[in-house]
């Protein structure tokens, strides 16, 4: 494994631990402050909203200019903002301003991701792709799982200020990754209309659109896990189990992916997991939400290699732009489904799993009608 991938994986270990402590704390205390699933919609939908507004633009900028500068600026700010969010909830009692800052921070997280993800995808060795992907996930998700297990103890002592140790650890990873050449600087060669043309290539378009629709439906569950647990009268332990289920699945799923050589079997297993997400949710048991979120992670991690291979078909100098367009489309579906879910959880909980099953069935049908996803893995 080369230096880039080694440092990237080590960075993910520190960053995943720290950022998850921050995210779990913010999601939990924001719902405690709002106490309403409808008011929580901007929080649960912050990522798709930020992606919708920023992904295409930042992807283009990341190709055209210096990715490292963009990464350093956005990464620094989004590591500082959690302190102000906690302040406005615990001390200033201004949840509206806290939500606004949370949305801003999430947008900056997206900018950071859009600068580093293309570099990782471009540097994946073709002959060892599954192996490097597994190592990356093994380190990242193990660190996340450890932070999930520790979070209830830290939260019991420090409440919202649990974000501070998270910021410290996330900054270690941030400093490591900033030592790498991240690419970009395409200059005049990078034109957005060319990126759109690349995105419309048959393989890229099909994988992007079907993934986006699936992610919209699945987001109704994993983006709302903190709210779902509290709606079902759960507690921090059940919320921890829900988070643990999601991130443990991202440790198990990539290992399972390395065992598949037949892409059809991989896709069928992935869709089986997606259906399970909504079947479990329909049981309305807070103790089982971890199984539901875990099914999301396994399903996603199995087909991640198909998505990466499709994105690698884009021209190198346009990859961040194509990824930005892909994120924009995905965000639109997440925002639409997420907004609907926030309303339904407050009025008709059971409608959410019904919509989810119908959506996944539609995407599965699209796969049976196309051969573009049948690639060598």
**What are the chain's domains?**
3-179 (1.20.1250.20), 192-369 (1.20.1250.20)
**Interval 325-347: pLDDT, tens:** 998 999 889 989 998 998 899 88
- The whole-number average pLDDT for the span 265-286 is 96
Q: What is the pLDDT at residue 253?
A: 93
Is residue 286 within 8 A of residue 234, CB to CB? The reply is yes
Is this model's pTM higher than 0.85 or not?
no
Q: What is the pLDDT at residue 359?
A: 98
Of 163-167, 168-172, 316-320, 368-372, the one with minimum mean pLDDT is 316-320
**Interval 186-240: pLDDT, tens:** 666 678 888 899 999 999 999 999 999 999 999 999 989 988 998 999 998 998 8
- The whole-number average pLDDT for the span 347-365 is 96
Q: What is the pLDDT at residue 181?
A: 79
- The whole-number average pLDDT for the span 111-118 is 84
- The whole-number average pLDDT for the span 76-101 is 92
Q: What is the pLDDT at residue 145?
A: 85
């Amino acid at each position: 494994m080369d230096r880039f991938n080694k440092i990237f994986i080590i960075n993910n270990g520190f960053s995943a631990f720290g950022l998850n402590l921050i995210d779990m704390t913010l999601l939990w205390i924001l719902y405690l402050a709002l106490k309403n699933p409808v008011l929580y919609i901007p929080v649960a939908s912050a990522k798709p909203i930020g992606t919708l507004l920023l992904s295409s633009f930042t992807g283009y900028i990341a190709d055209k200019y210096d990715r490292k500068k963009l990464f350093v600026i956005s990464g620094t700010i989004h590591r500082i903002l959690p302190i102000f969010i906690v302040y406005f909830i615990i001390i200033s009692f201004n949840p509206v301003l806290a939500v606004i800052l949370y949305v801003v921070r999430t947008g900056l997280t997206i900018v950071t991701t859009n600068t580093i993800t293309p570099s990782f995808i471009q540097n994946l060795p073709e002959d060892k792709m599954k192996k490097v992907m597994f190592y990356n996930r093994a380190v990242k998700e193990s660190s996340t799982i450890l932070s999930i297990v520790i979070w209830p103890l830290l939260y019991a002592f420090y409440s919202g200020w649990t974000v501070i140790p998270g910021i410290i650890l996330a900054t270690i990873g941030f400093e490591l990754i900033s030592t790498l050449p991240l690419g970009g600087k395409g200059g005049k060669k990078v034109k957005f209309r060319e990126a759109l043309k690349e995105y419309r290539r048959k393989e890229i378009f099909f994988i992007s659109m079907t993934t986006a629709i699936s992610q919209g439906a699945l987001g109704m569950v994993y983006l709302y896990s903190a709210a779902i647990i509290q709606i079902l009268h759960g507690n921090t332990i059940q919320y921890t189990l829900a988070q643990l289920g999601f991130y443990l699945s991202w440790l198990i799923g990539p290992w399972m992916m390395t065992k598949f050589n037949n892409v059809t079997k991989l896709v069928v297993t992935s869709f089986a997991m997606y259906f399970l997400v909504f079947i479990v949710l329909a049981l309305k048991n807070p103790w089982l939400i971890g199984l539901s979120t875990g099914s999301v992670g396994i399903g996603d991690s199995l087909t991640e290699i198909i998505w990466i291979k499709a994105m690698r078909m884009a021209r190198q100098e346009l990859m961040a732009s194509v990824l930005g367009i892909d994120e924009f489309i995905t965000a639109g579906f997440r925002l639409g489904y997420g907004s609907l879910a926030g309303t339904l959880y407050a009025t008709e909980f059971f409608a959410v799993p019904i919509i989810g099953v119908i959506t996944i069935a539609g995407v599965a049908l699209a796969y049976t009608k196309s051969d573009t996803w049948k690639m060598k893995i």
